[in-house]
Structure 1
Amino acid sequence: MTTTPPKRVTAADVARSLGLSRATVGFVLNDTPGQKISDATRERVIAEAARLGYRANSAARALASGRTRIVLLVLPDWPLDHNLRTNLDEAAHALDEAGYSLVTVSPHAGGRAQPLWETLNPDVVMGLTPFTREQIAAFRSAGVEHIVPDTSREDGFAFDELSDGPVVQVRHLAERGRTRLAYAAPADPRLAELRAVRLRAARAEIDRTHGVELVATVDVDTDTDTERLAEVFAAGADGIVAYNDDVAARLLGAALRAGIDVPGALAIVGHDDTPIAGLLVPALSTVRIDIAGLGRYFAEMALTAAEGLPIPEVRPTAQAQLVVRETT
């Protein structure tokens, strides 16, 4: 048995029910400025629309206004870790409060799906890293007017500028008397660029710190944590700078299974202060970043582009804060 879907309630239905003109009802429901409509009439229209189950036709409204109130966030092909989820959640919440929807997409090489910037007609296309010229050309050809960051303007804030986290990690280990450090990162090839950014920052701080040297760099995954820890220990490392808390947790587990005293023989400091850091035994020392604030800043950048407002003068610093626990 098939059922006929219920007919969508329109502004004309609301007008007919109240005996008002469609224009008057339309002005109220669309909150059209400059119309002299009494408060009593507005209240009647809103109440009747709610009673009838009226919902605005977003497609028609977008066609009439030329705006979809959609922000399309083009993500690199990164794993959805704790930091990225927090960033997206805050950006989505901030945009929702302003009446915009956040849609995310991660284009893949060789993908056959029609790009969302062509099908959604977003008001803004934004990215966490700078777009290439080819990407910007594709957005422009699809009719996208607002792009953040736009290489023609100094308005970008890339996700890989995140913080001085590796610097804080190295300084903390040096202050704890650790002189032979290893840098450990995920083996995931999708993180190669971000991994290189953090390694450069850690290496630079090690070079600036008298008496401290980098003795090993290792890429870790769930199948190689024991082998990589053995390499770190064979190199004589007494401290590990971990790319994130996941890597730190894997090496901590491998060390405990091997009977290595943490932090006596080997100190470990993570990055991101994820929920697991405080649950581990021993609890993981790490660094915390205001990723939520960064997400709100991205939303603000999108809104300034969509609304034609000035670029925010204050950029987030994403300063790393040391969280000292038991592994250092």
Structure 2
Amino acid sequence: MPSGRSAHRVTAADVARSLGISRATVGFVLNDTPGQTISEATKQRVFAEAKRLGYRPHSAARTLRSGRSRIVLLVLPDWPLDFNLRRNLEEASLAFDEAGYALVTYTPHPTGQARPLWETLQPDVVVSLTPFAPGQVEAIREAGVKSLIPDPDHPIADEYPEEGPILQIRHLHELGHRTIAFAGSADPRVADLVALRRERAENTAAGLGLGALPSRDLELTDESAAAAIRDWRDAGVTAVAAYNDDIAAILVGAALRMGLDIPRDLSVIGHDDTPLAAIMEPRLSTVNVDTPGLGRYLASLALSAVEQVEPPVAGPELQVTMVHRASTAAP
């Protein structure tokens, strides 16, 4: 059974009582209050005793004193937590930690029964990977949060451009493919992102003088992929640009089981350059996204808003690159 002392939160008053000095003196030391004439020896005694007793400052009181909670709230869409998203979050979390901030993630759900975390955490900034939903900006500001990323008052056009589909279509076109399909994901949670990548692919194809791209959203099953391949082959399709590496992998597997040669009979290109792309056979051509760099850029944007400094200039971390491997070749 835990003792009464272990359940007691150590306060500045406990530190003062243990040392036999005033509560005010301890408070001045622990809060680093300017303008005080406390000797260095007394300061060191206070710090040592606070550490020995297990003193931790009360977060709410600290927020009131400093005006900051040093919490960043990241609003996540209801996306699958895939490899790249995990890497993005890990890198952002590390960057925030290095700056002395804690990253908390929160996914609002359609039922809306839980109290939003921006009302309970008092975050210094609320960040969203997608545009804020209708009503969210007003609700967040009513909770007292002043900084939002993306900032609805100062929007940055196309902050995270979807250049990957452009590279996919151009790569297949340069290889000589003229009838190209687009394979999306049937997961409703990523429908908006699939639609955006499909649109970019279709616009690129039109700019290259290609016809309309046959398109289908696939389940991650052999049956779904095989049915699409049969229809596309009947339509003369020689290459497929996939929404991501998972969709590309299921297409390659289904094609091989149907007796097709990849890439001689059908070229397939993925998106994201996950570890899967480099270890499957044939190795998957794909689009590399600097997800660690994106995570740090996102952290820099948020920290610039909190610290009220110039936002970072977008650099190589927002660029995507083509990775040509064995799954694509001339038709």
Bigger shift: residues 37-46 or 257-266: 37-46
Residue 112 of structure 1 and its aligned partner are, at CA, apart by 0.9
TM alignment of 1:203-222, pairs within 5 A: 203-210=202-209, 212-222=210-220
Indicate conservation of the 8 Å contact 2:288/2:320, yes or no. Answer: yes
Q: Which runs of 4+ in 1 moved over 6 A?
A: none
Indicate conservation of the 8 Å contact 2:181/2:215, yes or no. Answer: yes
TM alignment of 1:43-58, pairs within 5 A: 43-58=44-59
Indicate conservation of the 8 Å contact 2:288/2:322, yes or no. Answer: yes
Residue 309 of structure 2: aligned partner: 309
Identical-residue share of aligned pairs (%): 53
Shift in alpha-carbon separation, 1:119–1:304, aligned structure 2, 3 A: same
Residue 148 of structure 1 and its aligned partner are, at CA, apart by 1.6
Residue 286 of structure 1 and its aligned partner are, at CA, apart by 0.7
Instruction: Supply the distance in 1 between the matched residues of 2:151 and 2:288 (Cα, whole angstroms).
Output: 29
Bigger shift: residues 61-70 or 235-244: 61-70
Residue 192 of structure 1: aligned partner: 191
What amino acid is the match of 1:6? A
Please, which runs of 5 or more residues in structure 2 have no aligned partner? none
Which secondary structure does the structure 2 equivalent of 1:205 belong to?
helix
Shift in alpha-carbon separation, 1:86–1:145, aligned structure 2, 3 A: same
Deviations 1:128-176 (A, max 9, x none): 1222452111112222222221221135765xx3431111111211222
What amino acid is the match of 2:218? V
Bigger shift: residues 73-82 or 42-51: 42-51
Residue 19 of structure 1 and its aligned partner are, at CA, apart by 3.4
Which secondary structure does the structure 1 equivalent of 2:46 belong to?
helix
Residue 264 of structure 1: aligned partner: 264
Shift in alpha-carbon separation, 1:274–1:36, aligned structure 2, 3 A: farther
What amino acid is the match of 1:219? D
Residue 194 of structure 1 and its aligned partner are, at CA, apart by 1.0
Which secondary structure does the structure 1 equivalent of 2:214 belong to?
strand
When normalised by structure 1's length, the TM-score is 0.91
Instruction: Supply the distance in 2 between the matched residues of 1:281 and 1:247 (Cα, whole angstroms).
Output: 15
Residue 152 of structure 2: aligned partner: 151
Residue 183 of structure 1 and its aligned partner are, at CA, apart by 0.4
Indicate conservation of the 8 Å contact 2:71/2:123, yes or no. Answer: yes
TM alignment of 1:71-110, pairs within 5 A: 71-110=72-111
Instruction: Supply the distance in 2 between the matched residues of 1:216 and 1:314 (Cα, whole angstroms).
Output: 34
Indicate conservation of the 8 Å contact 1:72/1:126, yes or no. Answer: yes
Residue 26 of structure 1: aligned partner: 27
Please, which runs of 5 or more residues in structure 1 have no aligned partner? none
Instruction: Supply the distance in 1 between the matched residues of 2:182 and 2:139 (Cα, whole angstroms).
Output: 39
Residue 3 of structure 1 and its aligned partner are, at CA, apart by 5.4
Indicate conservation of the 8 Å contact 1:215/1:235, yes or no. Answer: no
Residue 201 of structure 1: aligned partner: 200
Indicate conservation of the 8 Å contact 1:183/1:216, yes or no. Answer: yes
Instruction: Supply the distance in 1 between the matched residues of 2:3 and 2:47 (Cα, whole angstroms).
Output: 30
Residue 83 of structure 1 and its aligned partner are, at CA, apart by 2.3
Deviations 1:2-49 (A, max 9, x none): 754432222222233333333333233233345444444333332222
Indicate conservation of the 8 Å contact 1:270/1:285, yes or no. Answer: yes
Instruction: Supply the distance in 1 between the matched residues of 2:140 and 2:91 (Cα, whole angstroms).
Output: 25
Residue 120 of structure 1 and its aligned partner are, at CA, apart by 1.5
Shift in alpha-carbon separation, 1:162–1:285, aligned structure 2, 3 A: same
Indicate conservation of the 8 Å contact 1:89/1:295, yes or no. Answer: yes
Bigger shift: residues 119-128 or 272-281: 119-128
What amino acid is the match of 1:134? G
When normalised by structure 2's length, the TM-score is 0.90
Residue 9 of structure 1: aligned partner: 10
Tell me how large the CA RMSD over aligned residues is. 2.2
Instruction: Supply the distance in 2 between the matched residues of 1:309 and 1:10 (Cα, whole angstroms).
Output: 35
Which secondary structure does the structure 2 equivalent of 1:327 belong to?
coil
Instruction: Supply the distance in 1 between the matched residues of 2:239 and 2:204 (Cα, whole angstroms).
Output: 14
Residue 172 of structure 1: aligned partner: 171
Residue 185 of structure 1 and its aligned partner are, at CA, apart by 0.9
Instruction: Supply the distance in 1 between the matched residues of 2:38 and 2:298 (Cα, whole angstroms).
Output: 38
Indicate conservation of the 8 Å contact 1:215/1:237, yes or no. Answer: no
What amino acid is the match of 1:130? P
Indicate conservation of the 8 Å contact 2:92/2:298, yes or no. Answer: yes
Instruction: Supply the distance in 2 between the matched residues of 1:312 and 1:21 (Cα, whole angstroms).
Output: 46
Bigger shift: residues 261-270 or 188-197: 188-197
